[in-house]
Homo-oligomer: A and B are copies of this chain.
């Protein structure tokens, strides 16, 4: 049976989340642990993308995953099967994680000898974007069925992310989705955003995304 802890995290008491996030990042730098904050809508394929990413990188680094959900352990079960160290965070109804909540998860999990921790944030394009979790980099997934107009409607998340994964490109023929338009809209919000079209299902495009992540982890932990 797969092993993972379930943690009920508590609402943060810190007034200044930005300062707290900066403190957490500093601590991660000293420990040589890279934290990636992964955000998206419900059902965009975060867990499948993460499974692919772990398969791709696990030979070269120690990876751990914190699954944040309102309820249920569905994703933690899936990720634990990859063999990565996994912890399930229950937010008790809260729609996002802040730096202190992230720290609670990291502390429970233990990060000694961990090169890369991925925080799978609550499925939501709005609130998670408003709170710095202390992550070194932010990435988001937008899936083809959600439509190419999302950067127009949810500007902040595109602004705060370093990388945008466009998932489910295998079903592009069945949807009115314009890849060039989504790139244009996303770059309007954030000219520096790196964009990776992938299919987590077939594996297409996953190498380029993993190469970007590999470089980020190496630079941080150097």
Q: Contact between B74 and A153 (Cβ–Cβ < 8 Å)?
A: yes
Q: Contact between A71 and B155 (Cβ–Cβ < 8 Å)?
A: yes
Q: Which of B126, B147, B149, B155 contacts A127 (CB 8 A)?
A: B126
Nearest-CB residue, chain B, relative to A146: B43
Q: Contact between A150 and B42 (Cβ–Cβ < 8 Å)?
A: yes
List the one stretch of A2-10, A56-64, A117-125 in contact with chain B. A117-125
Q: Contact between B71 and A153 (Cβ–Cβ < 8 Å)?
A: yes
Q: Contact between B168 and A145 (Cβ–Cβ < 8 Å)?
A: yes
Q: Is A156 in the interface zone, CB < 8 Å from B?
A: yes
Which B residues lie within 8 Å of A179 (CB)? none
Nearest-CB residue, chain B, relative to A177: B43
Contact A123-B71, Cβ < 8 Å, known A43-B41, A145-B145:
no
Q: Is A210 in the interface zone, CB < 8 Å from B?
A: no
Which B residues lie within 8 Å of A43 (CB)? 41, 143, 145-147, 150
A174–B125 alpha-carbon span in the complex (Å): 25
Q: Is A132 in the interface zone, CB < 8 Å from B?
A: no
- A121 CB, min distance to chain B CBs, angstroms: 11
Which B residues lie within 8 Å of A208 (CB)? none
Q: Is A12 in the interface zone, CB < 8 Å from B?
A: no
Q: Contact between A42 and B168 (Cβ–Cβ < 8 Å)?
A: no
Q: Contact between A95 and B95 (Cβ–Cβ < 8 Å)?
A: yes
Q: Is A70 in the interface zone, CB < 8 Å from B?
A: yes
Q: Is A69 in the interface zone, CB < 8 Å from B?
A: yes
Q: Which of B42, B168, B170 contacts A41 (CB 8 A)?
A: B42
A123–B147 alpha-carbon span in the complex (Å): 13
Contact A70-B154, Cβ < 8 Å, known A122-B126, A125-B124:
yes
Which B residues lie within 8 Å of A93 (CB)? 126, 130, 156
Nearest-CB residue, chain B, relative to A167: B145
- A sample of 10 more A-B contacts (CB under 8 A), given A43-B143, A70-B126, A95-B127, is A43-B150, A71-B155, A72-B152, A72-B153, A93-B130, A123-B154, A143-B145, A144-B145, A145-B171, A174-B174
Q: Which 10 A-B pairs have the closest CB atoms?
A: A43-B146, A145-B145, A95-B126, A72-B152, A43-B147, A41-B41, A72-B153, A41-B42, A95-B127, A171-B174
